[in-house]
Amino acid sequence: MTVYLDHAATAPMHPRAVAAMVEQLTRTGNPSSLHGAGRTARRVVEESRESLGAALGARPSEVVLTAGGTEADNLALKGLAWARHAQDPRRRRLLVSAVEHHAVLDPAVWLAEHEGFEVVLLPVDRDGRLEVDALAEELAAHGDQAALISVMWANNEIGTVQPLDEVVALAGRHGVPVHADAVQAVGQLEVDFTASGLDAMTVSGHKVGGPVGVGALVARRGLDLTPVLHGGGQERAVRSGTVDVASARAFAVAVEEAVTHRAENAERLAGLRDSLVAGVRRGVPEAVLRGPEPGAAGAPSPGRLPANAHFTFPGCEGDSLLYLLDSHGIECSTGSACQAGVPQPSHVLVATGVDDHDARGALRFSLGSTSTAQEVDALVSVLPEVVERARAAGLAGVG
C-alpha cells in the first residue's frame, strides 16, 4: 500500500475536474478567435472565470488566469512594484514576511538586485506568525516608501495561518497594497477575497484537485499592475498568452468542489491531523511539532491549517527520514530545499528560531481528500523504527 501524505505539494485531481478537462481537450477553438469554435471556447473560459469568482468571493473581472501560482506571485510582486514605483519613485520598499514561499521571496530579491528595490523581511514568532508590531513600526517609519506588502494566507511548510485582517488594516492607513499567497488556504480555510480587503491574491489549481499548470491572480478592480509577460494581453491586458481552456475549466471545477465541501473536509482532516500528531508524539516523544499547536481533536485550529503536521526529529536528517519512509511506501516531504544538490535548512524554520542543525531534520505530513485513518496508522506504526535507523545513520556518518 502506498500512503500519500504530500497533498500540500500536489493533490490528486478531483474526478469531476478530470472529466471536465477531458471533455474540453476533445474540442478545438482559440478563445481569442471570432468564429464559432472560438466563441464557444471563450464562453467556457468566461463561465470558468465566473465560477472561480463566486467560489473565491471575487468579481469575475478580478480573476486573472495564469499558468500557476508561481506566475501569479511574480505578477503580483513585479507588477505591483513597478506600477507603484512609476506612480511614486519613493516607493521602493518591498515588505514581505520572512516565511513566504520562494515564488514570492525570489521575485522580491530579483527586484532588489536588478531594479533597485529594497526587500524588508518582516519577522515572525516561534510559531511562524507575523510579528504585527514589527510591521506597524516599519510602516510608521517608512510607510510612504512602501511599494507593497506580501504576507501569505497560510504557510505551506508549518501550516501557520497569518493575521491578514491586521495586516490589511495597517496597510490601509498608509495606502500600501497587500498581496497574499492563498495557495494553501483555498479548500482548507474560508477564503473570501472581497471580505479580506486584499488587493491581490494568488491561487493554484493543483493544490485543490485541479491540474498542474494553471492558477490565477485575483486582483481588485482598478489595481494598477505592470505586465510581466507581453504579447496579446489576453487577461485584462496584464497577462498575455492563449488561455488554456481545458485547464481553466478543470481549475474552476476543482475550486468549486473544494470550497463547497470545505467545512466538512476541514473537520475530517483536522481529526486525522490530530491523530497523526498524537501518534508521532507517542512513538517518538522527542519529535518537535513546528507551527501552532492544534486545537481540540476533530476541530480545525484557527491558527493552523487543518491538514498540516510538521515535525523536526533531533539527530536525524530529513532526507534520510524521507527515503526510509518511502521504502515503506509512505510519501511525504522534507522541510529543506536543495541548492546545487546540497540540502539547505528551511528558511521558514530558521525564521522561527530553529537552528540549522535541527531544521535539517524536518518532515511535513500533509493530508487531503484521499487520506484515511489507516494511512495515519501506517505512518505511526513504522515511524519509530525509521527515526531510530536515521539517527543511527547520522551518528555513523559523524563517526
182/268 Cα distance (integer angstroms): 21
154/308 Cα distance (integer angstroms): 10
- Is the Cβ–Cβ distance between 223 and 200 less than 8 Å? yes
Handedness of CA 252, 254, 260, 266 (dihedral sign): negative
3-class DSSP assignment, residue 28: coil
- Is the Cβ–Cβ distance between 228 and 32 less than 8 Å? no
- Is the Cβ–Cβ distance between 268 and 135 less than 8 Å? no
User: CA 249, 250, 251 angle in degrees (round to 5)?
Assistant: 90
- Is the Cβ–Cβ distance between 237 and 66 less than 8 Å? no
Residue with cell 531534520: 361
b/e 191-224 (16+ beta carbons within 10 angstroms → b): bebeebbbbbbbbbbbbbbbbeebbbbbbbeebe
Residue 316 is a catalytic residue? no
User: CA 189, 195, 200 angle in degrees (round to 5)?
Assistant: 85
63/181 Cα distance (integer angstroms): 14
User: How far does Cα 126 stand from its chain's mean position?
Assistant: 20
- The DSSP letter of residue 201 is E
336/314 Cα distance (integer angstroms): 15
3-class DSSP assignment, residue 93: strand
330/368 Cα distance (integer angstroms): 14
Choose the catalytic residue: 22, 263, 338, 373: 338
189/182 Cα distance (integer angstroms): 10
Tell me the three cell numbers of residue 202: 494568488
166/279 Cα distance (integer angstroms): 35
Residues tagged active-site: 338
